[in-house]
Structure 1
Amino acid sequence: MGLFHAGVIWSGRSESTETCARRAETLFQQLGRCDPVYARWFECAYSRKHSLQLPFEPTYEAFLRFFKRRRYRLAKGVFSFDAWTGQEQRGRGGKLNFVCGSESPSYLNECLLYLPREEPAASRVLTVPVLREVVRAMVQAWDPNGCAIIADGDLAARKEMMDGHPCLGWLTYIAGGRGNVPPLPRQVHVEPMEDQGTLIILTQERFSLKNPEHVALARDTREQLVKAGLMPPLKK
């Protein structure tokens, strides 16, 4: 079973503690509607046993309290938070972390959600209908430059995201302010995401880096997005 994660990035944007708390509440509430695996959350700690002793309700008031703690502040007005869904199975299927409130290049505003690889959650979540809602949740919460569902083995895409650049995944959101999405290969599904931007879906079945047709489709799609100025060329 392949591991996927959903990631969003957004440019430097200083925001108040209250705004960051409201955005975090929106994210967790929307994720809770995507699948039952996101119905409960725990603060991350140094061990599973300790973390399971730290359940929390992801409310605006809770995040205001969290952001007052030193452990969740990277700098003045910059907040970092890690959460876990409490699954006992091996793997990181329920982990989420984010950094927000930063206008400094030293701290990238980002949010990373590790998607389940354990059954039965993986079969429920790793589908286009559910992942579409996961992307929508992250977009509504953070108003990012981009969002992508990335296979863990896609090292090039992961590096782009970690460097703060937009990247292409199984599902990809492109904010409207970045430009218009050009015509893409006919197999690729393109749809508006409300009034915020465009969602690109490479395949209706689960994307696989082991499938040559999927890899070729991703390559051709990316080439068109690079030509349109929506993706940076891959570094050689």
Structure 2
Amino acid sequence: MQDKYYVGAYWGPRRETALECARRAELFFHMLARCDPAFSQWYRAGRGFPRDLPGWPVRPEMKELETLFLKGRNRTDVGKKVIEDMGFRLMVWNAKKDAIHVHLHCGGYSPWGVPNSCLLNPLWKSAVWERLVRSPVLAEVLTSVATAWDPDYAMASSSQMVDLVEKRGSEVRVGWLTYLSRRLGTLPPLPAPVRIEPVGTLGWLLVLSPEPMTASNPEHVALTTRVRELLDRAGLIERPAPRPASE
């Protein structure tokens, strides 16, 4: 089975307003646009959009993004009341065919809700995504995610590799490319050919290989497993149970 790659960034409870999330999203989309032309235009769902387009065009500007985040709040089934501590959600995509989807969940501060996250994921086999995966662009994408959203960790990997390497469902995931925030602790020495690059003052980007790592390659699985073990010994893998953002 061919590996299916995705980018995922995750962080714990962080109480932010729709405007604060919109500022981060604006930076994120502008940084993505500099990574590759495939990320220059995004669309959203909604009734009545022109049929020749993939959806309603989204302008990656703070005020429009704030409005979309406010529309994407979680509500109760009865009474449709806003659930404040569940934050905001937004999903956009970049094309009608071979689309890459971006799922954003931010501003959530419930210790029992799903984690805040930023996901880039092709729902179907995409020629554009396959091209991006096999180039240095994916490292730029991960850097954009880390810079804009300041997650606890982020990774670019195949879902098949995650299934092989992950030991606990709530742990920090290690992939072909892995970003770790300095909040997690101190980075230990890692074996060659792992390359470590700083992401500003926020954290580190670990590049395990210059080429895509596949779950069907035993050497790739062994290296990813080894790096995970070393990070786990250094206390960087286990994620503590989240507490309310006010604590």
TM-score range, shorter chain: 0.7 to 0.9
Task: Output one character per residue of 1:156-195: Cα deviation in whole Å (capped at 9) or x when no partner.
Answer: 379789x553110110011112111111112111121121
Contact 2:104 2:117 in 1 (8 A): yes
- Residue type at the aligned position of 1:76: E
For residues 126-205 of structure 1, the aligned pairs below 5 Å read 126-127=133-134, 129-156=136-163, 164-205=170-211
Counterpart for residue 9 of structure 1: 10
Task: Output one character per residue of 1:94-140: Cα deviation in whole Å (capped at 9) or x when no partner.
Answer: 001011101102232111111585225522x1145211111111111
Contact 1:150 1:158 in 2 (8 A): no
The 1:50–1:146 alpha-carbon spacing in structure 2 relative to 1, beyond 3 Å, is farther
For residues 20 and 120 of structure 1, the distance between their equivalents in structure 2, rounded to whole angstroms, comes to 28
Counterpart for residue 84 of structure 2: 76
4+ residue stretches of structure 1 with deviation over 4 A?
48-51, 157-161
Is 1:229 matched with 2:231?
no
Contact 1:9 1:164 in 2 (8 A): no
For residues 29 and 154 of structure 2, the distance between their equivalents in structure 1, rounded to whole angstroms, comes to 16
Task: Output one character per residue of 1:14-64: Cα deviation in whole Å (capped at 9) or x when no partner.
Answer: 012210111111111111111111111111469x96972312112111112
Does the residue aligned with 2:136 lie in a helix, a strand or coil? helix
Counterpart for residue 54 of structure 2: 52
Q: State the TM-score, normalized to the length of structure 1.
A: 0.86
- Residue type at the aligned position of 1:183: P
Is 1:88 matched with 2:97?
yes
RMSD over aligned Cα, in angstroms? 2.6
For residues 102 and 165 of structure 2, the distance between their equivalents in structure 1, rounded to whole angstroms, comes to 16
The 1:197–1:104 alpha-carbon spacing in structure 2 relative to 1, beyond 3 Å, is same
Does the residue aligned with 1:209 lie in a helix, a strand or coil? coil
Q: What are structure 1's unaligned runs of at least 5 residues?
A: none
For residues 199-214 of structure 1, the aligned pairs below 5 Å read 199-214=205-220
Does the residue aligned with 2:160 lie in a helix, a strand or coil? coil
- Residue type at the aligned position of 1:61: K
For residues 22 and 61 of structure 2, the distance between their equivalents in structure 1, rounded to whole angstroms, comes to 8
- Residue type at the aligned position of 1:150: S
- Residue type at the aligned position of 2:89: S
Q: What are structure 2's unaligned runs of at least 5 residues?
A: 75-82, 240-247
For residues 126 and 190 of structure 1, the distance between their equivalents in structure 2, rounded to whole angstroms, comes to 19
Contact 1:15 1:102 in 2 (8 A): yes
Counterpart for residue 114 of structure 1: 121
Task: Output one character per residue of 1:137-161: Cα deviation in whole Å (capped at 9) or x when no partner.
Answer: 1111111111100202234379789
Aligned residues: 225
Counterpart for residue 80 of structure 2: none
For residues 224 and 156 of structure 1, the distance between their equivalents in structure 2, rounded to whole angstroms, comes to 18
For residues 10 and 59 of structure 1, the distance between their equivalents in structure 2, rounded to whole angstroms, comes to 23
- Residue type at the aligned position of 2:151: P
Identity of aligned residues (%): 31
Counterpart for residue 62 of structure 1: 64
Does the residue aligned with 1:13 lie in a helix, a strand or coil? coil
For residues 128 and 135 of structure 2, the distance between their equivalents in structure 1, rounded to whole angstroms, comes to 16
Does the residue aligned with 1:83 lie in a helix, a strand or coil? strand
